């Protein structure tokens, strides 16, 4: 019995540590999340990227993304991310809390990297829908870091907005069939983030005209590199929606 338990544990640990994704659209299960490479803008540059699942524990996940990209400095090359399998399908009006924690660091970076470290939250009129699809109404980004002078979609409509204990610049603009609202940290990198996302939802409903009948369809968390090279390590990340 003991032997069986040990063997199972070893097998799981070995699978997790061997999990390096290299292909353009490779994904792998990562506990209560899915880890995806998502090199959607690969053709606008030259380079490579990989993502490695480090560990999972309960609703917490740890992973690493290494990337190096050249050319077209204003084009996003990819969005390696984890997608929550459970924090979705809830109307904004029904969200009691949406706690999230994200502890990350650049283990290495070339000089002058252009990249963000960000949440990408998708909402729409129906409970389910793929990110960046015909079902999307809003794309809500939260940039915990934006290096090298990069900018979100649209234009800056507000500075110094206080939400969830941090100060943000708010950017807004259309993309395809949805609106993008991006909160960009006004105070530089936030490497230990621990907030209730309901604060952002409430602000958007009360101050930016987002309907509380919108459903959260997906919460993704990761990095958008433009140019340079870096190793981004997430020590621990979690998100949940309580209704
Ligand atoms: C991961 O990507 C980095 C940067 O592109 C590269 O240096 C490294 O060799 C890659 N590792 C694997 C296992 O592909």
Instruction: Give the model's pLDDT for residue 50.
Output: 98
Q: Where are the alpha helices (DSSP H) in the chain?
A: 2-17, 198-207
> Is 174 part of any domain?
yes
Instruction: Give the model's pLDDT for residue 18.
Output: 54
Q: Is 49 in the pocket of ligand 1 (CB under 6 A)?
A: yes
**Choice among 164, 224, 227, 239 that is catalytic:** 224
Q: Is 19 in the pocket of ligand 1 (CB under 6 A)?
A: no
> Is 3 part of any domain?
no
> Is 1 part of any domain?
no
> Is 2 part of any domain?
no
Task: Provide CB contacts within 8 A for 32, sequence distance 6+.
Answer: 56, 58, 59, 61, 84, 85, 86
Q: Which pLDDT tens digit goes with each residue over 116-134?
A: 999 999 999 999 999 999 9
Q: Which pLDDT tens digit goes with each residue over 130-164?
A: 999 999 999 999 999 999 999 999 999 999 999 99
Q: What is the CA 40 to chain-centroid distance, rounded?
A: 15
Q: Which of 238, 224, 241, 219 is nearest to 121 (CA)?
A: 219
Domain count of the fold of the chain: 1
- Ligand 1 centre distance from Cα of residue 129 (Å): 32
CATH number of domain containing 64: 2.60.120.180
Cα–Cα–Cα angle for 138, 139, 141, rounded to 5 degrees:
140
Separation CA 26–CA 173 (nearest Å): 29
Is residue 41 classed as helix, strand or coil in its secondary structure? coil
Separation CA 169–CA 146 (nearest Å): 12
> Is 160 part of any domain?
yes
Decide the pairing of beta strands 20-21 and 46-57: antiparallel
Burial of 160 by CB count in 10 Å (0-12 exposed, 13-18 middle, 19+ buried)? exposed
- Ligand 1 centre distance from Cα of residue 66 (Å): 6
Instruction: Give the model's pLDDT for residue 17.
Output: 53
Positions in the chain whose pLDDT score sits under 70: 1-18
> Is 191 part of any domain?
yes
Q: Which structural domain, as residue segments, surrounds residue 40?
A: 8-239
**Choice among 139, 170, 179, 225 that is catalytic:** 139
> Is 226 part of any domain?
yes
105 catalytic? Reply is no
Q: Is 67 in the pocket of ligand 1 (CB under 6 A)?
A: yes
Most distant CA pair in the chain, distance: 62
Global pTM?
0.92
224 catalytic? Reply is yes
> Is 206 part of any domain?
yes
- Ligand 1 centre distance from Cα of residue 103 (Å): 22
User: What does pLDDT average to over the chain?
Assistant: 94
Task: Provide CB contacts within 8 A for 234, sequence distance 6+.
Answer: 61, 62, 63, 64, 102, 103, 104
């Amino acid at each position: 019995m003991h032997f069986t338990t040990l063997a199972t544990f070893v097998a799981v640990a070995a699978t997790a540590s061997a999990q390096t994704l290299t292909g353009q659209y490779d994904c792998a299960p990562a506990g209560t999340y899915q880890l995806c490479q998502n090199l959607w803008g690969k053709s606008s540059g030259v380079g490579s990227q990989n993502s490695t699942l480090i560990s999972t524990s309960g609703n917490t996940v740890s992973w690493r993304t290494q990337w190096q990209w050249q050319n077209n400095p204003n084009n996003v090359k990819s969005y390696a991310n984890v997608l929550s399998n459970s924090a979705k399908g809830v109307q904004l009006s029904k969200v009691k809390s949406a706690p999230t924690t994200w502890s990350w660091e650049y283990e290495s970076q070339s000089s002058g990297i252009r990249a963000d470290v960000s949440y990408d939250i998708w909402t729409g009129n129906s409970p389910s829908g793929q990110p960046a699809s015909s079902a999307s109404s809003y794309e809500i980004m939260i940039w915990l870091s934006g290096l090298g002078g990069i900018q979100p979609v649209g234009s800056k409509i507000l500075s110094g907005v206080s939400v969830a204990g941090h100060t943000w610049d708010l950017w807004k603009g259309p993309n395809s069939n949805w609106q993008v609202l991006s909160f960009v940290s006004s105070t530089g990198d936030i490497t230990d983030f621990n907030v209730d996302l309901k604060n952002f939802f409430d602000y958007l409903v009360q101050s930016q005209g987002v309907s509380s009948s919108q459903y959260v369809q997906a919460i993704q968390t990761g990095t958008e590199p433009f140019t340079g090279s870096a190793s981004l390590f997430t020590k621990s990340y979690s998100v949940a929606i309580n209704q």
